[in-house]
Every structure is written in structure tokens, then in C-alpha cells.
Amino acid sequence: MKTIIRMIWLLLVLSLTLLACQAEQQQEPMQAPAPSVPEALAQEQDSVVLPAEAPTTQAPVEISVIAKRFSFSPDPIRVKKGDRVILKITSMDVEHGFAIPAFGINKPLPPGQEVVIEFTADKTGTFDVFCSVYCGTGHKGMKGKLVVE
Ligand SMILES: [Cu+2]
């Protein structure tokens, strides 16, 4: 029994020593970065200034889209790779849905109400657009394309 108690004591002492070492180690690096925080802030401020010099690439591309039985217009929707795209979609008749699975987009379009969808066209290709809310006999054929060049 005594040996077991000794071992437990040893373990306790060891773990306490380890904890103390860790605490010291943590303190040292914590003191070191403290003065460098203003430097990091200064660097961040510098990098904030830089993108402001090239705002033209950041300007979003707005496209108005009409949804009605059983098509979208324009079709295809054309954008450039890297564009920040703002789609303003209005259903002219019944409720439709607007889905582009390749960009994780799927929103209902209540009739007569403009729905705004924003995304970044971060890959080139031709992507499926389709209606995701049953809207009548032609629903299955209510498809379009998004072309990212
Ligand atoms: Cu539909």
C-alpha cells in the first residue's frame, strides 16, 4: 500500500511540476507578443489601405432576373470569374424557386417580390439554374444556365 501511495505522491508532484513549467512557458510567449500587437495592427492597417487602391475589381455586378412560367430571363446569366454578383430576381406570376446548386444557392421567389441573392463567381464554367418550387405543369423544364467566363 505504501508504495502505491508513494507513487501517487510522485505522480502528483510530477504533474504539479509540469503544470508549473507550462505556466512559465505560457507566460513567456504571452509577454513577448504583447509589444508586437501594435505592430500587427499597423500591418493590418497597411494591408487595409492596399486593397482600397484597386476597388474596381470589387465592384459588384448587378443583374436583374425575371422568373415566370416556365423560364428565367436572361438565359444564360453571364458573369466573369471573380465577380461579386448580385442577382435581383422577381417572379412575375406564381411562386418559383431559384437554385444554382454549384454555388449553394436555393431561394424561394414569392410572386411580385424582388429577391436579392449575392454570391462570388469563384469558378469558371456553365452551371445549371433551375426552379426549385413546384409552379405548374412546366416546372420540370424551368431551367437556365449561369455562365462564368
Ligand atoms: Cu417551378
pLDDT at 120: 97
- Ligand 1 center to residue 67 CA distance, Å? 9
Distance from C-alpha of 102 to C-alpha of 14, rounded to nearest angstrom? 55
pLDDT at 136: 97
pLDDT at 88: 98
pLDDT at 5: 43
- Ligand 1 center to residue 58 CA distance, Å? 33
Distance from C-alpha of 124 to C-alpha of 78, rounded to nearest angstrom? 11
Residue with cell 462570388: 120
* CATH number for the domain running over 56-148: 2.60.40.420
pTM score of the predicted model: 0.62
Distance from C-alpha of 63 to C-alpha of 87, rounded to nearest angstrom? 5
User: How crowded is residue 132: how many other Cβ atoms within 10 Å of its Cβ?
Assistant: 19
H or E element, residue 105: strand 105-109
pLDDT at 58: 72
How high is the mean pLDDT of the chain? 79
- Ligand 1 center to residue 73 CA distance, Å? 14
- Ligand 1 center to residue 149 CA distance, Å? 27
- Ligand 1 center to residue 110 CA distance, Å? 12
- Ligand 1 center to residue 46 CA distance, Å? 49
Terminal Cα distance for the chain, rounded: 77
